[in-house]
Structure 1
Amino acid sequence: MKVQYTLFPEGRTKAMTFSYDDGRTQDRLLVSKLNKYGFKGTFHLNSGFLGREGYITAEEVRTLFQGHEVSAHTVSHPFLEISPPDQVAHEILEDRRTLESLVQYPVHGMSYPFGTYNDKVVAMLPALGIEYARTVNSHGRFDMPADPLRWHPTCHHKQLLEQVEIFRDYQERFKRMSLLYVWGHSYEFDNDDNWEIIDQAGELLKDNDTIWHATNAEIIAYMQALERLRFSVDRSIVHNPSALDVWISVDDKPIKISAGQVIQL
């Protein structure tokens, strides 16, 4: 019996997520466009900038990002790799604390300010409650994160259309999960006058039900649920102890294992 972790919810093999930094006022239009096409985004906010000119307000955070994810980006957007450890801890924990008070759910993800970090910063993150951290190192592939604390995206949104066209018809040769991960800053759409690329991507994927649209946190939670599956020695019995339904491939057939369920394969 061959068991493989190759499936997202509903037995899909593809997922797509957006990731945006800073909490600029252009997030308002971006969220409306993502909602129109059923896309999901993660918005990494600097809590110390909320309410400043050009930034969204604290009062609108919870309602604006309903259905998406609010994630950390530090309080004041410093270069973490040249900051003392206690300052790194303060920047992340206080950002989490403020954002959690606004959205009323735990915040366990972040993106690196300026996209910069080093091994010492990465090593600190689990103790600060961070489960994933996005970089700006686009690799142009549809890989799942090998290291969620160094989560490299597929592309910046400037390459969104070309990557969507490839991804729409993409078939992984070795039957693995495929993820299109897009990052950027919403103000760049104004700077480059290219808001239409979100609409064009939406039209390209219209009525396409082969892709799971998810936030960063939803993808991480699903991966963790898969990793928590408990198998008998001969893999004929499996227990899903998590609160999420998961799908696995058994001899190349999709099998759903509901939350808390024990099943015979």
Structure 2
Amino acid sequence: MKRITKLWPGGKPKAFTLSYDDGVEQDRRLVEIFNKYKLKATFNLNSGIQHEGSFWVDKGIMIRRMNPEGLEALYEGHEIAVHSLTHPVLPDLPRELARAEILEDKRNLEQKFGYLVTGMAYPYGAYNAATIGLLKACGLEYARTVNQHLKFNLPENPYEWHPTCHHNDPELMNLTEAFLADGSPSLSLFYVWGHSYEFDVQNNWERIEEFSQRISSRDEVWYATNIEIIHYLEACGKLRFSVDCNLVYNPSALAVWIMVDDTVVEVPPGSTLQMQ
């Protein structure tokens, strides 16, 4: 019997992704760091309050959302996702208002950025079963929570996608070393989230610079946005194997990589391969 293991694109065993909320001015510096190290992130925006008049103060630090002009260029190469129209606690709203918060933010972001927006981060991390039902009805494919698990697990439920850790978690660098040292052949995923303004509030921009440098440029790691992770896992799940596993069919539009015994095999989209 063959040993078959699913791999990330390019035959890589590990994947890394990031998620940052609120569309604040500090994103400019954060994007510059991510681009420097060729990292990919998902940025979750509130289109109904995406202007410089939306601001607050934390420990004497001014936190201001950016005006929408020029955001297409700023976030180029990264993913834009829903964070609701005005950042309310969604489970506290009537169903109709919660639906509008989700759907109108999606509509605005799609019109602004010119592509399908199908991901989300829950405002305040708050959600329930009804919220998840609304996301599905609005055409969203995943939603990130704030419930970290300090592991490198794949999402069991894309609508309750728990990250590995927040960037300020004291275990961040230990987790980084453990992730890079892990020699397991099974798929692993390191997911870090936060808010860019926290680096000003905590006065620790050097933390994300050091972390980005350490996690970047690894041949065994696929660097992806949240939606790229979701779409690839969907494609993996659609692979069909013959009873003896000598044939594999990929009905999806994405190439999928697998390990057959000790050989890395690419299964092109729409193809059937015979495996010796």
TM class, shorter-chain normalised?
A: over 0.9
SS at match of 1:94: helix
Question: Aligned AA for 1:263?
Answer: L
Determine whether 1:163 maps to 2:199. no
1:239 to 246, 249, 263: 249
Q: Give the aligned CA root-mean-square deviation in angstroms.
A: 1.5
2:144 to 128, 134, 147: 134
What is the percent sequence identity of the aligned residues? 48
Question: Aligned AA for 1:171?
Answer: G
Q: Distance in 2 between matches of 1:19 and 1:82?
A: 24
- Which shows bigger deviation, 235-244 or 152-161? 235-244
Q: Distance in 2 between matches of 1:104 and 1:206?
A: 29
User: How many angstroms does 1:10 deviate by?
Assistant: 1.0
Determine whether 1:143 maps to 2:153. yes
Query: 8 Å contact 1:68–1:215 — kept in the other structure?
Result: yes
Question: Aligned AA for 1:21?
Answer: D
Which residue number in structure 1 is paired with residue 201 of structure 2? 191
Q: Distance in 2 between matches of 1:163 and 1:134?
A: 20
Task: Sort the Cα spacing of 1:72 and 1:4 in 2 relative to 1 into closer, same or farther, 3 A.
Answer: farther
Which residue number in structure 2 is paired with residue 40 of structure 1? 40
Which residue number in structure 1 is paired with residue 57 of structure 2? none
Q: Distance in 2 between matches of 1:48 and 1:207?
A: 37
- Which shows bigger deviation, 193-202 or 128-137? 193-202
Query: 8 Å contact 2:6–2:236 — kept in the other structure?
Result: no
Query: 8 Å contact 1:108–1:131 — kept in the other structure?
Result: yes
SS at match of 2:66: coil
User: How many angstroms does 1:24 deviate by?
Assistant: 0.6
Unpaired runs of 5+ residues, structure 2, are 54-63
Q: Distance in 2 between matches of 1:153 and 1:60?
A: 29
Normalising by structure 2, we get a TM-score of 0.91
Query: 8 Å contact 2:88–2:123 — kept in the other structure?
Result: yes
Query: 8 Å contact 1:242–1:260 — kept in the other structure?
Result: yes
Unpaired runs of 5+ residues, structure 1, are none
User: How many angstroms does 1:177 deviate by?
Assistant: 0.9
Which residue number in structure 2 is paired with residue 254 of structure 1? 264
Query: 8 Å contact 1:3–1:248 — kept in the other structure?
Result: no
Q: How many residues were matched structurally?
A: 263
Determine whether 1:19 maps to 2:19. yes
The C-alpha deviation readout for 1:72-117, integer Å capped at 9, x for no partner, is 0000111111111111111111000000011111011101000011
Q: Distance in 2 between matches of 1:65 and 1:195?
A: 19
Question: Aligned AA for 2:17?
Answer: T
Q: Distance in 1 between matches of 2:214 and 2:175?
A: 11
User: How many angstroms does 1:252 deviate by?
Assistant: 4.4
Q: Distance in 2 between matches of 1:90 and 1:70?
A: 18
Question: Aligned AA for 1:164?
Answer: T
User: How many angstroms does 1:3 deviate by?
Assistant: 5.5
Normalising by structure 1, we get a TM-score of 0.94
- Which shows bigger deviation, 208-217 or 3-12? 3-12
Which residue number in structure 2 is paired with residue 61 of structure 1? 71
Question: Aligned AA for 1:16?
Answer: F
SS at match of 1:226: helix
Query: 8 Å contact 1:161–1:197 — kept in the other structure?
Result: no
Q: Distance in 1 between matches of 2:175 and 2:67?
A: 33
Which residues of 2 match residues 84-95 of structure 1 at below 5 A?
84-95=94-105
